[in-house]
Copies of this chain bind each other. A is one copy, B any other.
Amino acid sequence: MAIFRSTRNTHDDPGYQRTSERMFELARLQPGFLGVHSVRDEDGNGITLSYWTDEASIRAWRAHDEHGVVRESGRRSWYERYMVQIARVERGYGWDAASEHAAAVPMTA
């Protein structure tokens, strides 16, 4: 999985939202993509978790041309700072109020 922690600057750029959505769409089309979860709070702090079948898929996504161009835009226009970490999911479990009990969940999404 890839962890992307970021802080947006205070410029209100309509291009950011559009590009962000485009990146989610594009990521979903990549080989090895399993899923993505992204949250950003009112202060501009965001965490995006993306899940992939293997590390080669993550490297390929990092090397994707359009993704690279957008990364430049991110540095130039949208982010104060960000951090990327690559991690290996080892186990997981979930809980849902509807079923009222915890259960093992897929570790990869």
Contact = CB atoms under 8 A, between A and B. Distances in A.
Nearest to A40: B41
Given A39-B46, A47-B39, A79-B97, A87 B84 contact: no
Contact of A5 (B49, B79, B85, B89): B49
Interface string A42-84: 1001110100000000000000000000000001000111111
A1 interface: yes
Contacts of A100: 75
A90 interface: yes
Contacts of A42: 42
Interface residues of A, number: 37
A84 B93 contact: yes
A97 B47 CA distance: 18
Contact of A39 (B40, B79, B82, B96): B40
Interface of A: 1, 3, 5, 9, 37, 39-42, 45-47, 49, 75, 79-98, 100, 105, 107
